[in-house]
């Protein structure tokens, strides 16, 4: 898809990495500027996709929703994503061209989502969350609700405990400890990549805010 923007502002390297970042950090402190940037960039890409045809447009909308499921909650300024999907679902019943293009778009999205996605991604995140919970157990605070306690064990100890749990469930494996550490590293790398996308987006918003209006 053609990039809709150029100029002196730092450009988001990958719109869908930014979409993943927005989905992961939505509502978190410091994410507001990134979400504003995502609104602008996503809208720009929407115009490009629509100009390229119905299949490109529907592929874009479906991929956005699968990459950033929080869009189903219709965040302010991004309601058009679900509006576009609803338009397609309604018109599929009465327009054969929309039905045909919708299924073509689904096939394209399936191919795009499998590229570069490790099959063990869910397992990596499960391990990451387990280690975090072993290190910092969650408890209920009378005022703040669910909160994490102070560190209970070291990261190394938490990984060892997780390995013991997995061996009791699946049986012993020779390189399990190393495999778990690699899972944690993949998640750390992934989160850092998404944080970098948020930082680029925040920079974009700051640059835009400093520009005089009307130029």
Report if residue 148 sits inside a domain: yes
**pLDDT score of 112:** 77
Overall number of domains in the chain: 2
Q: Both 107 and 176 in a single domain?
A: no
Place of tokens 């013991």: 164
168 close to 191: Cβ distance less than 8 angstroms: no
- CA dist 158 and 152 (Å) reads 9
Task: Decide which of 6 and 51 is more confident.
Answer: 51
Report if residue 163 sits inside a domain: yes
Tokens of 17: 């990495």
pLDDT digits (tens, 9 = 90+) for 63-79: 999 888 888 888 888 99
Report if residue 36 sits inside a domain: yes
Q: Both 129 and 113 in a single domain?
A: no
Where residue 174 falls among pLDDT bands split at 50, 70, 90?
A: confident
163 close to 177: Cβ distance less than 8 angstroms: yes
Report if residue 179 sits inside a domain: yes
Q: Both 111 and 125 in a single domain?
A: no
Report if residue 208 sits inside a domain: no
Q: Both 106 and 128 in a single domain?
A: no
Report if residue 27 sits inside a domain: yes
Q: Both 103 and 21 in a single domain?
A: yes
Give percent above pLDDT 70 in the chain: 82
Report if residue 3 sits inside a domain: no
**pLDDT score of 180:** 94
- CA dist 110 and 108 (Å) reads 5
Q: Mean pLDDT, to the nearest integer, of 94-109?
A: 94
What is the extent of the structural domain holding 171?
121-191
- CA dist 46 and 206 (Å) reads 23
Q: Mean pLDDT, to the nearest integer, of 81-85?
A: 95
- CA dist 21 and 195 (Å) reads 7
Last residue of a domain, one of 77, 97, 117: 117
**pLDDT score of 97:** 95
Where residue 165 falls among pLDDT bands split at 50, 70, 90?
A: very high
Other beta carbons within 10 angstroms of residue 173's beta carbon come to 12
**CA angle at residue 145 from 147 to 194, to 5 degrees?**
50
Q: Both 144 and 167 in a single domain?
A: yes
């Amino acid at each position: 898809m053609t990039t809709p923007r150029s100029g002196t502002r730092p450009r988001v390297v990958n719109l869908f990495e930014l979409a993943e970042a927005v989905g992961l950090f939505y509502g978190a402190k410091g994410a507001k500027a990134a979400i504003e940037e995502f609104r602008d960039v996503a809208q720009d890409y929407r115009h490009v996709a629509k100009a390229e045809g119905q299949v490109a447009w529907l592929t874009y909308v479906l991929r956005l929703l699968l990459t950033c499921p929080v869009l189903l909650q219709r965040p302010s300024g991004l309601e058009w994503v679900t509006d576009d999907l609803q338009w397609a679902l309604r018109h599929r019943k009465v327009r054969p061209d929309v039905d045909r293009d919708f299924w073509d778009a689904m096939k394209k999205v399936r191919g795009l989502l499998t590229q570069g996605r490790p099959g063990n991604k869910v397992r990596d995140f499960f391990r990451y969350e387990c280690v975090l919970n072993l290190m910092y157990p969650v408890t209920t605070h009378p005022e703040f609700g669910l909160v994490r306690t102070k560190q209970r064990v070291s990261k190394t100890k938490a990984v060892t405990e997780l390995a013991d749990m997995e061996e009791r469930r699946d049986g012993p494996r020779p390189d399990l400890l190393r495999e778990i550490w690699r899972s944690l590293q993949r998640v750390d790398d992934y989160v850092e990549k998404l944080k970098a996308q948020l930082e680029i987006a925040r920079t974009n918003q700051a640059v835009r805010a400093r520009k005089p209006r009307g130029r």
